[in-house]
Amino acid sequence: MEDQPLVHLLAESLANKTSFALYLLPQDEEVKLIRQKNMENYPLSFEEKGFVFAPFSDKDKTFFIPLSIANFDTFDKSIFSNFYPKKTKTFVTPNTASKEEYLQLLNQTINNIKTSETQKIVISRCIEVENIEVNASILLSKFQHLLQLYSDAYCYIFYHPEIGIWMGATPEKLLFSERNKLQTVALAGTQVYQRTTEVKWGAKEDEEQQMVVDSIQNSLEKYADSVEVSEKYTMRAGNLLHLNSDISATFQISELGSIVNELHPTPAVCGLPKENAKEFILANETYKRKYYTGYLGEINMTKKIKRKQRSRNQEHKAIHQLVPATHLFVNLRCMQFSNESAYIYVGGGITESSIAESEWEETVHKSQTMLKVL
């Protein structure tokens, strides 16, 4: 892998401390790399083309790489087919104490929901994995492993000198848009995948997912038209299953920023009502989420679409049309590399009917997504 041009490009950005994003959209065949040419920080603009990496809370900084000041390259996904993950020893920090602390927080959260107007709060935790060596070659090896394990997810690496290296394979859309049409999802509930998606969901998961549907639908109706919601279905994301509904709408392009701000953070990663849940999370979680459960992705990047045109003297002929497209994902199933450690972030939605021990086990299952990569 060391001889690959992609390794040298990432190594150069890391050495120069200039921001970059390497990513692959689900079901796409092109891996994309956007590398900032300078060390400036630029404000997020929903009118420009570029890549955004945004935090859970607006108390942290949002990073934006405008395409106008960046190098942009694409690579066929097949270049990763002959790469093999490097075997490295990892040591997971014992988390017996953290389990007790997390169970205490979960029970506190359940009690809060029972005695307040809050319906749902998403509670998370951080797992440290020590003695992790990171360089451009190792990063690409781990990225290749993500592509192998989670081909249906949005796989990425993001680097900025102020926040280090983040990597993930998230299954959850925040928003997809092409011209004046958008799509998003209402995702909630978790089960371990056991060779079938034909599974039963309990009342707790159905209730939680419907809360997400209702909240997103209400948010979109403030800025969009013709909001439609699909039937619920089970979606596989690596070794996990989730309950999901697809939501679509039409909107005015000038409202893109307002819609994103209205949707983020979603009930699936924050809770309901949003402000109540967010206030509880910031006050009571035992660590800072930073960019876990934030969002990331392309804004207004050019996409080719095919359409047919008929002329008097010709048969139908396929032509390409360039349209602005935005692809934003919620930053789930992710980890951060810092000070020779990897920090893996996991959580789950808590409602009145939640059982603390079960919620702990759910985070254990979710942590396997990134632990497998390490």
Distance from the Cα of residue 212 to its chain's centroid: 17
Domains for the chain: give ranges and CATH numbers.
5-373 (3.60.120.10)
Distance CA 28, CA 154 (A): 10
Residue 124 has a CB neighbour count (10 Å cut-off) of 22
C-beta of residue 340 within 8 angstroms of C-beta of residue 373: no
Q: What is the pLDDT of residue 302?
A: 83
- Residues 39-79 pLDDT 10s: 999 999 999 999 999 999 999 999 999 999 999 999 999 88
What residue ranges in the chain does DSSP mark as E strands?
A: 20-24, 30-36, 50-54, 63-66, 70-76, 91-92, 120-130, 154-160, 164-170, 173-178, 181-192, 224-229, 233-237, 240-251, 271-272, 295-309, 317-330, 334-338, 341-350
Distance CA 8, CA 6 (A): 5
C-beta of residue 330 within 8 angstroms of C-beta of residue 266: yes
> Given the DSSP bridges, would you call strands 91-92 and 50-54 parallel, antiparallel or unpaired?
unpaired
Under 8 Å CB-to-CB from 9, ≥6 apart: which residues? 20, 33, 35, 73
**pLDDT < 70 stretches in the chain:** 1-3, 82-97, 304-320
User: Which residue from 131, 156, 108 is spatially nearest to 285, judged by alpha carbons?
Assistant: 108
Q: What is the pLDDT of residue 94?
A: 47
Coil, helix or strand at residue 352: coil
Q: What is the pLDDT of residue 315?
A: 53
What pTM does this model have?
Answer: 0.89
C-beta of residue 101 within 8 angstroms of C-beta of residue 256: no
User: Which residue from 343, 362, 217, 369 is spatially nearest to 288, judged by alpha carbons?
Assistant: 343
User: Which residue from 291, 281, 219 is spatially nearest to 249, judged by alpha carbons?
Assistant: 219
